[in-house]
Amino acid sequence: MRAIRRFTVRPVLPPALAALGELAVNLRWSWHPETQDVFVEVDPDLWESTGRDPVRLLGAVSRERFDELAADEGFLERLRAARADLEHYLTADRWYQRRVAADGGSGGPGPRAVAYFSPEFGITAVLPQYSGGLGILAGDHLKAASDLGVPIVGVGLLYKHGYFKQSLSREGWQQETYPVLDPDELPISLLREPDGSPASISIQMPDGPDLVARIWVASVGRVPLLMLDTDVEGNPEHYIDVTDRLYGGTSEHRLRQELLLGVGGVRALRVFSRITGAPEPEVFHTNEGHAGFLGIERIRELTVATSGPQLDFETALEVGRASTVFTTHTPVPAGIDRFPRSLVEQYLNDEGGATPGVPTARILALGTEDYAGGDAGVFNMAVMGFRLAQRANGVSKLHGEVSRGMFQGLWPAFDEAEVPIGSITNGVHAPSWVAREVFGLATSQGADGDADGTDSFWNAVDKVPGTDVWSVKRTLRERLVVDARKRLAKSWEKRGAAKAELKWIEDALDPDVLTIGFARRAASYKRLTLMMREPERLKALLLHPERPVQLIIAGKAHPADDGGKKLIQDIVRLSDDPEVRHRIVFLPNYDIAMAKPLYPGCDVWLNNPLRPYEACGTSGMKAALNGGLNLSVLDGWWDEWYDGDNGWAIPTADGVDDIDKRDDLEAAALYDLIENEVAPRFYDLDHDGVPTRWVEMLRHTLKSLGPKVLATRMVRDYTRQLYAPAAINARALNSDYEGARDLAAWKAKVKGAWPEVRVEHVESSGVGDAAEVGASLTVRAFVCLGALESSDVEVQLVHGRAQSDDTLVDTTAVALTLAETYDGGRHRFDGDIALTRSGPFGYTVRIVPSNGLLTSYAELGVVATA
């Protein structure tokens, strides 16, 4: 029989235990062990059987147990302490508030609020609204912002099925299931109007009724996360399906999701501020291009909305750009959302589209690939992201370089190094990923557990005896082995094995064997099966009589990616081999819950992508913070922070065009490292049974990487380098919109006059053909600016090393000074530079636009060179 109606009955807590409900609905518990201890005390067995989910736990506790707890003074005291600690966390001044106070309490330069948009957020396993690295990064961003007091509000979607659950067939083929999530059983609440009715937003759809979405709110410490849900009574079925699952469906389905995230997300922010009194965001941050339509909705608000200032399009564009930050996360074009131009035109037409009144032609122009090699028939979400944001960044230094190369077509007049895409390297939220015992090593030496950004905290590891360090790592390895055996047994039972067949699992893995972890999406460039290039050599490493190795592997392939599924199947078939199955395991359904024991329990974290296709790759950061050593290709963050002593760099066969040959060479290098360096060092024990050289590497890893790989460092960087400057620019433009009008008019003037701008003649003196270090070069540049003023431009002397074809590399640009002005818009600019290095030297002169409200002289994409 099937129920004709389904609903969730929530528990009624005794008044003395009301604080349990408050603790359960603020997700800070997910990274605060002391709060988790309170829930464990409620019922240890239920805590485990409910998946360590406080909401489900409280729904499963008996009335009798609640009565016992309400009469237990010791428990009530601990509950009051946890409640008081949460209250202090939510209300006390933190880094951001102290930073503002140091600025005189004026509220600047930091923004009043920052809206952070992402299609997925990985906060905790009990809120499964994430698929992989992008979502985990977004979740860590919110949690770190909460710890720092940065006034961020997250914006995402609430997916009815979340991402899929992964299992394996008997043959090792990935299978997907999509369990239905009941919002009433999640740690979220419905945003309601003052009269108690659910708050909602609507979006106009072509040839149909408006799409309506509810707004759910999750409390991520101090940060509210708004999630839009279209499972609303009255929506047609195909509208209800818009928030069915992450990254599924047709192009049209994805476009609807991204319209809901971008356009609907801005509208949800307005409703949230109206109802709660929260400040309107001054800065908008889009985490990858999925939310790019937020910029179009903001233009609509400023141009055609009756409640807005009724600005012209160009002025509104400048207002939006000044306050928008765009972060790109992919180093490969295939990772970017590109929609048919005709489909975008259908959903964003002037009259019946999602942003009525905004000219369709202008919207399409923002996403068009109108550059060499582009496809005029598609709408590129990343291209629109760059054009709607004044500040853009990649997620590691190397990824910033790759991104500048990928998108140089948007700024074709400038060298790749000058493309205005910076970088802020990702970080991870230590309290979420570091084992309690690892923190305990530092605090046992008097270190402050809250001072994660200070050298004193990380240097405390030097004071911990090696025996204690190694004892903790052994404990964590054993915990991982126990967890992996349970997961392995469940997986085999789902594959159809009888329990009688699974006796061997009791001895699978060993808490005293070198443990290497590898967990990531099964995308081809991540090379899940590189370790299998020579199966017999891999087996020899796994079964070495004195220095054995064990591998724990996990990861999901996209449901439509049969190639990725085949990689998983190849790994599973090897791990099914009775000869080695006790040394290599594949654990299905990789998620936050699995990651919690995995990172601390591994001795080595393996990462072998095809360089340079790993944008950042934060899993190795989590391992490092738990005393794990990285064994990785120099890609993403590892290229930036590997120092020769905090792990191992897998040599790469750069320049080898044959992919198979390249994989063979790099696999051989990987085997050599494990056999000749990694395993011998792990098993080189002193008289106390401690591998002293290994422990020294572990200490160095924590000291050298600990302060760098933190999400708090990352969010501080975003705040200082992007959010605060964006707020300053936005205030300059938005106070009465005159600044924006002036900037738009200035840009139009510059672009209109630029065809007449040129360098007419350059003279130099001070050095001859045999120049020496220490000589001074004097340059005079005679330029024509046409209708522009000298203050509209900067005339630059660009110098550097000259290649054999006269190409300049390692360049430096020096502004020349206006010396004389002549009739007809002509001017002379002068300057001097000292020759400070020997070798081939070259220079040129160029003219670029100059305005204090630009973030880069490349922003307008125009330049005039000699």
List pLDDT tens digits, range 642-678.
999 999 999 999 888 899 999 999 999 999 999 999 9
Q: Kindly tell me if the per-residue pLDDT of 537 is higher than 50.
A: yes
Q: Looking at the whole model, is its pTM more than 0.85?
A: yes
Question: What's the confidence (pLDDT) of residue 4?
Answer: 59
pLDDT-derived band at 104, boundaries 50, 70, 90: very low
Query: How do residues 686-723 score in pLDDT, each as one tens digit?
Result: 999 999 999 999 999 999 999 999 999 999 999 999 99
Bond prior to 612 in cis (omega within 30° of 0): yes
The fraction of the chain above a pLDDT of 90, given in percent, is 84
Compare 457 and 376 and report the one with higher pLDDT. Answer: 376
The two structure tokens encoding residue 223: 């940060």
The two structure tokens encoding residue 605: 């974290």
> Residue 673's CB: how many other CB atoms inside 10 A?
17
Q: In whole angstroms, what is the distance from residue 265 CA to residue 270 CA? A: 9
> Residue 339's CB: how many other CB atoms inside 10 A?
19
Query: How do residues 595-620 score in pLDDT, each as one tens digit?
Result: 999 999 999 999 999 899 899 999 99
Q: In whole angstroms, what is the distance from residue 158 CA to residue 127 CA? A: 10
**Nearest alpha-carbon partner for 484 in 582, 606, 603, 587:** 587
Q: Kindly tell me if the per-residue pLDDT of 851 is higher than 60.
A: yes
Question: What's the confidence (pLDDT) of residue 444?
Answer: 87
Average pLDDT over residues 319-338: 92
Q: Which residue has the tokens 């380098």?
A: 721
The two structure tokens encoding residue 614: 């790993």
Q: Please, which residues bridge with residue 223 across strands?
A: 220
Q: In whole angstroms, what is the distance from residue 90 CA to residue 87 CA? A: 5
Asked if 773 and 836 count as a contact pair (C-beta separation under 8 A), the reply is yes
Q: Considering only 50-64, 101-115, 562-576, which range has the smallest mean pLDDT? A: 101-115
Question: What's the confidence (pLDDT) of residue 445?
Answer: 84
Q: Kindly tell me if the per-residue pLDDT of 99 is higher than 90.
A: no
DSSP notation for 387-423: HH-SEEEESSHHHHHHHHHHTGGGSTTS-GGGSS-EE
Residue 810: phi and psi, rounded to 5, are 50, 50
The fraction of the chain above a pLDDT of 70, given in percent, is 97
Question: What's the confidence (pLDDT) of residue 450?
Answer: 66
Q: In whole angstroms, what is the distance from residue 229 CA to residue 239 CA? A: 10
Residue 264 Cα distances to 202, 259, 267, 297, angstroms: 7, 7, 5, 8
Alpha helices (runs of H) in 121-165, residue ranges in sequence order? 133-148
Burial of 215 (0-12, 13-18, 19+ CB in 10 A): buried
Average pLDDT over residues 584-599: 96
Question: What's the confidence (pLDDT) of residue 102?
Answer: 64
Sheet holding 629-633, edge to edge: 584-587, 549-554, 514-519, 604-607, 629-633, 647-650
Query: How do residues 386-429 score in pLDDT, each as one tens digit?
Result: 999 999 999 999 999 999 999 999 999 999 999 999 999 999 99
The two structure tokens encoding residue 218: 């999750």
Question: What's the confidence (pLDDT) of residue 769?
Answer: 72
Indicate if the alpha-carbon torsion angle 38, 42, 44, 50 is positive or negative. negative
Question: What's the confidence (pLDDT) of residue 2?
Answer: 64
pLDDT-derived band at 1, boundaries 50, 70, 90: low
Q: Kindly tell me if the per-residue pLDDT of 250 is higher than 90.
A: yes
Burial of 838 (0-12, 13-18, 19+ CB in 10 A): exposed
324 SS3 class: strand
Mean pLDDT of the chain: 93
Asked if 496 and 170 count as a contact pair (C-beta separation under 8 A), the reply is yes
